[in-house]
Structure 1
Amino acid sequence: MQNLKQLGLHPEQMLADLPAFMNRIIGFADEIGISLSSYTADHIALRVNSQDIALELHQAWLAYGTEWSKAIINGRPIVVIGFDTPLQVGEWMIEALELPYPSDKVYPQQGWEHVEFVIPGNAMSLEQLEQSINSTFPALHWQQLAEKGIKVKASSPAGEHERLPNPTYAFKKDNICIKLHSHSLAAVIASEKE
């Protein structure tokens, strides 16, 4: 565990940093033009650059919860750990951690990377999700995001056995990311078992 502590990635250190990270998420949401206070913070994700660190983190976080899923998505394992006690940060209760094993991409900063929020609409496609986002957040002006240096990426990540589509919009700037989707990770994982 010394390696994780030296890197500032031990779960205790990550949990201590969580309120500051969520404050950055709230500030970023304001910059995008969305208010997330009424919506579920479904899960939080971290990013690391080495298989060894991912393996160590995977084992370390199991002290805080149960592995819900380990699926190959876009060619690499993504582990989801459901917390025994949801993490309370401000007004949110976060029930799960997403830990992607690294791909070829190198992240300039390891640690917390994004929070995914569930918004209403039950979207099954990217077009439906965009409509849901527009009706949920009428103050969001898509064309102004690039001017603010905010990258927007639409994707439909899926595990091999998932039956519930989960289109996602990601808003990213300066090593911080907010993702919006219509189905909780728990619901998507449950669809694999149907």
Structure 2
Amino acid sequence: MKKLKQLGLHPEQMLADLPAFMNRIICLADEIGISLSSYAADHIALRVNSQDIALELHQAWLAYGTEWSQAIINGRPIVVIGFDKPLQVGEWTIEALELPYPNGKTYPQQGWEHVEFVIPGNAMSLEQLEQSISSIFPALNWQQLADQGIKVKASSPAGEHERLPNPTYAFKKGNICIKLHSHSLAAVITSEQQDKHVNNNN
């Protein structure tokens, strides 16, 4: 815990920094041309550079919630912890924390990295998700984002047993990232657990 505090990564320190981080998320959303106040902030994610720190954080955050899942995604474990008491920040109630273990990439800044929002549309592919985003946020100009220094990345991350496709668009500028998808993390984890149950019964 001492090391976490020295790095400013102890959960108490990170929770104290949460309002400022969400303000940066709101500023990025304004720059992108999207208003997220009507949509659920599904989960919040952090990034760290070392396995030791990830292990310490994993244990430290378990004091605030219950481990919902641990899945290998893109070759590394990603832990999801559901908060006993959801985080209330601004207009949003955040139910879960995503903690990816490092995969060799070094982040210039450790700590909060993105918030993922659920938008309507039930998209099952990246094409459907792009259509949903464009329809819901008509002010978003995809072509101008690169000129604003905003990187856009489309992905379809999936755990081994996930049945529910969850295409995702990430909008990143500096150390701040907003991700949009159509299915909550809780729904994706439920689909994974159902698949395991089916496989175990076969």
For the aligned pair, the TM-score class normalised by the smaller chain equals: over 0.9
Q: Match of 1:37, as an amino acid?
A: S
The match for 2:156 is 156
The match for 2:46 is 46
The match for 1:101 is 101
How far residue 104 of structure 1 moved from its aligned partner, in angstroms, is: 1.3
User: Residue by residue, what CA displacement relative to the aligned partner does 1:146-172 show, whole Å, maximum 9, x if unpaired?
Assistant: 000000000000000000000000000
Q: Match of 1:187, as an amino acid?
A: A
Q: Match of 2:80, as an amino acid?
A: V
How far residue 193 of structure 1 moved from its aligned partner, in angstroms, is: 1.7
CA distance in 1, matches of 2:151, 2:158: 22
Q: TM-score, normalised by structure 1?
A: 1.00
User: Matches of residues 29-40 of structure 1 in structure 2 within 5 Å?
Assistant: 29-40=29-40
User: Matches of residues 171-182 of structure 1 in structure 2 within 5 Å?
Assistant: 171-182=171-182
CA distance in 1, matches of 2:86, 2:92: 9
CA distance in 1, matches of 2:108, 2:44: 18
Indicate the percent of aligned positions where both proteins have the same amino acid: 90
Q: Match of 1:183, as an amino acid?
A: H
Residue aligned with 1:63, SS: coil
The match for 1:63 is 63
Unaligned stretches of 5+ in structure 2? 195-202
Is 1:17 the counterpart of 2:20 in the alignment?
A: no
CA distance in 2, matches of 1:175, 1:57: 20
The match for 2:134 is 134
The match for 1:7 is 7
User: Matches of residues 76-87 of structure 1 in structure 2 within 5 Å?
Assistant: 76-87=76-87
Q: Which runs of 4+ in 1 moved over 2 A?
A: none
| RMSD, aligned α-carbons | 0.3
Is 1:111 the counterpart of 2:111 in the alignment?
A: yes
CA distance in 2, matches of 1:162, 1:2: 37
How far residue 118 of structure 1 moved from its aligned partner, in angstroms, is: 0.1
Q: Match of 2:183, as an amino acid?
A: H
CA distance in 2, matches of 1:156, 1:82: 22
CA distance in 2, matches of 1:71, 1:192: 9
Unaligned stretches of 5+ in structure 1? none
CA distance in 1, matches of 2:140, 2:120: 16
Q: TM-score, normalised by structure 2?
A: 0.96
Residue aligned with 1:77, SS: strand
